[in-house]
Structure 1
């Protein structure tokens, strides 16, 4: 039994609550490093923004992710050696100025949460656990894309008679007492949710590497109030009941001058990093990881030197630093960044953004503008005039993941068998659900379900938008009944054949 001195020592050794879950699957912070089983834990991987909620399914708004799609995305991360995926923040409904149907948002108002979307997330987290891929899950977005800080405040105010009619601004999220109280309610509900697939409480699930306090919190030139950052981090780890997970601060633009909320510059000579040092945010025991995002629109494409400056400041405060997003530059800039990260203490780099196979066949595609699209693994050839370089970047990503973890390069494994069940009843309109890590497919045709089967085509690629025809079998004679099966192939070999699809005829 602890005496008074022992109780005091125990209390001070866990200022943010002592971890209640032990085991080999957990990632934890040890000073300026993350570790697993006593070994340094690093990664080079991808953002998969649609993994928490799809926005790129044609004909649909924000919708659920199926178990097949979660498997496809997370297996791709595993195959590339990525170890960790970062998914987008929870969508927030604005009851005053709605931007979509309320049924398409995670948070629908105070105390109202979308069970269908959270059950979809349950499946994704359970899949990540099975594949040993970790997730960074963001809690709220600064921006308005799927509803963010201003939308949250506006909906809270709409339930308070004295505040109805007020117009919320994003910074109100960090200062308004009613909004803060409601956000804490939401956080407590999240960490105590019981996963309907695995049965694990979110707060006890090692698949979740970190909670991110916000995506690009306060934008590029403002900053979250230090009291809010430290207070919410402490709340999650103590009152809400989750001392097990890491907290990632969502601040970006650390090297930029700090701007007032009205847009004025009180002291351009002080950077966000310097302010966070002065205010004790970087050294706060409850905030575990800090990050920055690198884009050509927000600074030079010399991402490597930007990362070196950032990591030096963050590690000097005794915390790990990750590059939470980077993109929209040439592949040499990416290569330089990952080389610098490997050798200079950066814990992780995460390129923006990868999409995955669709339940309707083909791939989800997201345009970022200026010739850039979401990546697809292991990548497809792009035109010589495109800055996108998908196949090269995805190949390099496999190298980067090995560099930063110190593991040997591996060829792509034999893929899972594809799913031909969604193809139409005509050989002229063939679709299938692809396999993660597959580079090509081989289609086989027979006159009977028992075979024999002959190869119709090899080297087929499925790089088409969701729901599109992947292959037309013009060699099939109309009026004749056929049976088909399909293999997924990579440099490691071809899968076992899919389940047979047939009889079909044109």
Structure 2
């Protein structure tokens, strides 16, 4: 997608053609595209970044959202690989400082995304402290968390950070960030809210959006406030500087109604109803409720008659009000709470205000919830510009994939969806979720075209060699094979040739024998992907291996041959 993404009312456009250029997408968050937090904090290799972006391209996702810029805690060693973050603070000068090493990794992500035709959504700062966020930023100024939204000094510091980022020139492309069309939009932050969970002050969001707009007239601006189930702030919806509103959808349950309040209203309703019935039926137990004794009394109602009428009116009104309150609370507790219904409710508000709406995160739930979310995305009644699942991890240059545990049984996903291997970090629902997303993309993407797939050849890495004895007391040679996978491969074929006079890497395919059937790389980073066990009595002088990736639509070339020599086998 060339050029900047534009907005017209609630619609986003990726080109000049208003009919075919309309943008709608289903894709994934790739939190570690610019820095990897586990198993240890380090920078991704460009090959790994390319693998992630090629996965999105093959999926047909068009857009990816990365995670925030990390904030370094005060006192942390700025030059340590384990503690360095994107943003730090110089107490001597009071200046915000960008870490050049980490930003060069973001430079690479932007360059490679552009080469794959992928747009990136970039949030500036995190509400949480996973990588350092608001808490760490306000600590620069010895201020509490909520001062981030109210304190002039802290706000000025954050504006300085925004200015540094927007004016940065990419070291690989020579393009300033504010002039790079690879960025779909700038997001004020991730899940921003006050420390007690209440909503981000709209005035702060508007001020930040206006500051971004004063520096960057090219990009769209997204409000990163965490709306949850509260609904969008009217000030935000009416602000011209804000183009996109967003929300995140997890299993938070339906909007809650206080149980104690329900109980109190219920008791008061019963009391009011009892008094109403007693007044109506002239119950003797209430001495002041008396009917007039004669027709004459009707013309001049007694105090008891007046009291009875008053009691009927007051108790009836109170009972009706209490009943209405109970009905409302009952309705609130049963309000639609599926992802799809929540998304459509937010989309309706955004559409009415002429704002574009993107589902920034959805995840950690059931296939039924994911289906409801994608069905909502498919609706043309209230246009939703995009939906991003949480989250995608990519191949490791050391073999296998990066994995990430989210919570409970939930793990990050991997493209194209690999068989479950929970012990290694591959979730039970990975294949089902990937298939679900892939099946919906043609429905939601205007002008959808199947991505061309030409699988690249994998690359065999240095093997792990071990010697052992099997249950028949035969000496065994075990060769642990590892390879850099290829984006889009569903499984691999591995071939071996053994002889006493190895061709040492020759191109001949004679005598190669395939091992196993479908071999998967659903293992963590650096793990052995296949163990080849050979009896030592075969007197093998050398073994040659090669591997290739397979998908439904493509087969990669064979990898370069890896030769394991006698010296390696004997060591």
Shift of residue 388, structure 1, vs aligned partner: 4.1
Is 1:195 the counterpart of 2:170? The answer is: yes
CA deviation vs aligned residue, 1:362-388 (integer Å, no higher than 9, x gap) = 11111112211000111122379x984
Matches for 1:379-394 after TM superposition, within 5 Å: 379-382=417-420, 388-394=428-434
What TM-score, normalized to structure 2? 0.74
CA 145–352 in structure 1, closer or farther in 2 if over 3 Å, else same: same
Choose the corresponding residue for 2:3, options 1, 12, 25: 25
Shift of residue 352, structure 1, vs aligned partner: 0.6
Mapped partners of 1:421, 1:308: distance in 2? 48
Shift of residue 478, structure 1, vs aligned partner: 6.3
What TM-score, normalized to structure 1? 0.83
**Partners of 1:412 and 1:491 within 8 A in 2:** no
CA 411–187 in structure 1, closer or farther in 2 if over 3 Å, else same: closer
- Counterpart of 2:35 in structure 1 is 53
Choose the corresponding residue for 1:289, options 220, 223, 244: 244
**Partners of 1:89 and 1:141 within 8 A in 2:** yes
Mapped partners of 2:339, 2:350: distance in 1? 16
Shift of residue 503, structure 1, vs aligned partner: 4.5
Shift of residue 326, structure 1, vs aligned partner: 0.8
CA deviation vs aligned residue, 1:351-408 (integer Å, no higher than 9, x gap) = 1111111121111111112211000111122379x98411011011112222111455
- Counterpart of 1:252 in structure 2 is 226
- Counterpart of 1:456 in structure 2 is 514
Mapped partners of 1:224, 1:440: distance in 2? 46
SS at match of 2:549: strand
CA 298–208 in structure 1, closer or farther in 2 if over 3 Å, else same: farther
- Counterpart of 2:319 in structure 1 is none
Mapped partners of 1:82, 1:29: distance in 2? 19
CA deviation vs aligned residue, 1:283-321 (integer Å, no higher than 9, x gap) = 211111001111113547610100110000011111011
**Partners of 2:59 and 2:451 within 8 A in 1:** no
CA 51–298 in structure 1, closer or farther in 2 if over 3 Å, else same: farther
SS at match of 1:296: coil
Is 1:117 the counterpart of 2:119? The answer is: no
Is 1:181 the counterpart of 2:159? The answer is: no
Mapped partners of 2:37, 2:88: distance in 1? 17
**Partners of 2:491 and 2:518 within 8 A in 1:** yes
Choose the corresponding residue for 1:474, options 506, 523, 533: 533
Choose the corresponding residue for 2:139, options 126, 150, 154: 154
Shift of residue 42, structure 1, vs aligned partner: 0.7
- Counterpart of 1:490 in structure 2 is 551
Mapped partners of 2:201, 2:76: distance in 1? 26
CA deviation vs aligned residue, 1:65-117 (integer Å, no higher than 9, x gap) = 11011001110011001111111001101206899977421112133221111
- Counterpart of 1:437 in structure 2 is 488
CA deviation vs aligned residue, 1:138-161 (integer Å, no higher than 9, x gap) = 100011111111110102x1xxxx
Which moved further from structure 2: 62-71 or 88-97? Answer: 88-97
Choose the corresponding residue for 1:234, options 202, 210, 227: 210
Say which structure is richer in helix. 2
**Partners of 2:22 and 2:446 within 8 A in 1:** no
**Partners of 1:221 and 1:253 within 8 A in 2:** no
Shift of residue 437, structure 1, vs aligned partner: 0.8
CA 102–461 in structure 1, closer or farther in 2 if over 3 Å, else same: closer
**Partners of 2:461 and 2:481 within 8 A in 1:** no
Choose the corresponding residue for 1:76, options 17, 36, 55: 55
- Counterpart of 1:217 in structure 2 is 192
- Counterpart of 1:267 in structure 2 is none
Shift of residue 425, structure 1, vs aligned partner: 6.8
SS at match of 1:94: coil
Matches for 1:9-408 after TM superposition, within 5 Å: 24-37=2-15, 38=18, 39-56=21-38, 58=39, 60=40, 62-95=41-74, 103-109=83-89, 110-155=95-140, 157=141, 166=142, 168-218=143-193, 221-238=197-214, 241-256=215-230, 272-273=231-232, 276-277=233-234, 280-297=235-252, 299=254, 302-343=338-379, 344-382=382-420, 388-407=428-447
Mapped partners of 2:253, 2:42: distance in 1? 31
Mapped partners of 1:128, 1:466: distance in 2? 23
Mapped partners of 1:443, 1:387: distance in 2? 25
**Partners of 2:2 and 2:181 within 8 A in 1:** no
For structure 1, the residue ranges without an aligned partner over 5 or more in a row are 1-22, 158-165, 257-271
CA 202–422 in structure 1, closer or farther in 2 if over 3 Å, else same: farther
SS at match of 2:37: coil
Shift of residue 207, structure 1, vs aligned partner: 0.9
**Partners of 2:489 and 2:550 within 8 A in 1:** yes
Shift of residue 41, structure 1, vs aligned partner: 0.4
Q: How many residues align?
A: 450
Pair member with larger Rg: 2
